[in-house]
Structure 1
Amino acid sequence: MTWHLGHLCAFDTETTGVDVESDRIVSAAVHAVGGGDQYGHEWLADPGVEIPAEATAVHHITTEHAREHGDSAELVVDQVAEALAQWAGEVGAPIVGHNIAFDLTLLDRECRRYGLVTLQDRMLGRPLHVIDTRVLDQHAVPYRRRVSESQGARQLITLAQFYDLPWDDDAAHGCSYDALVAARVAYRIGQLAHTRRRHWPEHVLAERRLRFESFRDLPLADLHALQVELAAEQAAGLQKHLRKTNPDAVVDPSWPLRPWIEPAVDSTEPEGAPA
């Protein structure tokens, strides 16, 4: 069975911001689709901190709403990690998302914040396979232009439009909606990879230097390994571009998880000092 026809475990989060080291999960969704099974669950968390207005403007969840209706952040993080471990570890489904390294890294940091077992450790040595629609799309359609001044070439809405998927502006930036759209994009990319080029839609063929064939007939392990390489190449390309205006720009090439760095211990603190 080709990789896009089996189980896909779609994952997305909405958060207090974009810093994976310090921001918190506000809502999360895990949806398993394909392969004959269906599962879906969405969580709302009280992140324990104020939700900035800029974040609320994106996902429409206020601090007050999260405090009143959300479960404790520790409980939500634990349940999300366990749901992913069950589908990725026990079933063997790849975790699918758009720019998924953000969500997986944030989940990892949240687990560590609450002293919970991380997703990687819950896998018990079983392989964790990931499909990132942003990484796949950027390789397959490398020269797509921005749609407009406000809509970039790699945004989820752009991919939905390119792969002939419906898009609902009102539902967008809800974690369940975005997770499921990403899974559908992954399926369409897989479908094109396993379809002869002459049968591709005209608007796809109109793009330059298409490379969907790179994903054809790959076992999940090989598809995952290829994305590690592609993500590093894409990060290097973005860093080179950014350094034209900012010589100090750095783009982390890690995928699908940014390495954890233990916080430095303050060696100036006197031994036995009260906390």
Structure 2
Amino acid sequence: MDVTTAARWADTLAVFDLETTGIDVDTCRIVTAHVGVIGVGGEVLERREWLVDPGVEIPTAASLIHGVTTERARLEGQSAVSAVAEIIAALTDAATRGLPIVAYNAAYDLTILEREATRYGHTPLPGPGPVVDPLVIDKAVDRYRRGKRTLSATAAHYGVVLDDAHDAGADAVAAGRVAQAIARAYPELAATAVAELHARQVDWCREQAESYQSWRRANGEPEFTTSGAWPVR
């Protein structure tokens, strides 16, 4: 990997991903989590992972995606109350060290973490910020590219290998490497301070949501609404 043109903010990144019981950020629970750090060449410098007993049944549809059943989570998983506290602490430590937090579709993962913190009486992750969301950035800098914008598809577009999609560790590391690839591909982003990049993503996500909402309403769903709040809904 050529690292000579990598952005300074992308030199060392905290990477974060969750696998959960569903897609509703207000009700779903954490099943697995990864918080790690990657270096300038995308190498894994630190990693910490959690298998969590969410305290509820894990739907079969979710288990088929991430591979964790209710039985396994109950047998091997850490209690949700302690795991959520540890995940927040790990991300807080990374932010204290000045590391941007990378999460693909960050508003999903960070909103769930915020809801889980509230559920168990923990102080939510401060901020959070600065956050780098390769999904939001990619859609802003390459708006008209055809095809899916899943992590797997975006990783393939930028030449990032993702062999074990929907594993929290694999997804987190791939998201970080995609962020670094985007930084190399777009020099203007490489020259942007990470705090400014965070602020731009707030605007980009709102604009993307407004555009998507307009499209859905124009295509047979006149009451459709969606939130553009970022990085927490």
- Give the TM-score range, shorter chain: over 0.9
Q: How much has 1:226 moved relative to structure 2?
A: 0.5
Q: How much has 1:5 moved relative to structure 2?
A: 3.5
Q: CA RMSD in A?
A: 1.6
Asked if structure 2 preserves the Cα contact closer than 8 Å seen for 1:3 and 1:190, the reply is: no
TM-score by length of 2: 0.93
Confirm whether residue 140 of structure 1 aligns to residue 135 of structure 2: no
Match of 1:202 in 2: none
Match of 1:183 in 2: 176
Confirm whether residue 241 of structure 1 aligns to residue 211 of structure 2: no
What amino acid sits opposite 2:37 in the alignment?
Answer: A
Match of 2:15 in 1: 10
Residues 65 and 131 of structure 1, relative CA distance in 2, 3 Å threshold: same
SS of residue paired to 1:23:
coil
1 or 2 for the larger relative contact order (CA 8 Å, sep ≥6)?
2
Match of 1:34 in 2: 39
Taking the TM superposition and a 5 Å limit, the aligned residue runs for 1:76-155 are 76-88=83-95, 90-120=96-126, 128-146=129-147, 153-155=148-150
Rounded to whole Å, the distance in 1 between the matches of 2:197 and 2:68 is 35
Deviations, residues 39-61 of structure 1 (Å, cap 9, x unaligned): 10110000000000110111010
Taking the TM superposition and a 5 Å limit, the aligned residue runs for 1:214-229 are 215-229=189-203
What amino acid sits opposite 1:53 in the alignment?
Answer: T
Q: How much has 1:4 moved relative to structure 2?
A: 4.1
Rounded to whole Å, the distance in 2 between the matches of 1:69 and 1:34 is 31
SS of residue paired to 1:254:
coil
Asked if structure 1 preserves the Cα contact closer than 8 Å seen for 2:184 and 2:190, the reply is: no
Residues 28 and 41 of structure 1, relative CA distance in 2, 3 Å threshold: same
Rounded to whole Å, the distance in 2 between the matches of 1:45 and 1:100 is 20
Q: 1:21 aligns with which of 8, 26, 29?
A: 26
What 5-or-longer segments of structure 1 have no aligned partner?
A: 147-152, 195-212, 259-275
SS of residue paired to 1:183:
helix
What amino acid sits opposite 1:6 in the alignment?
Answer: D
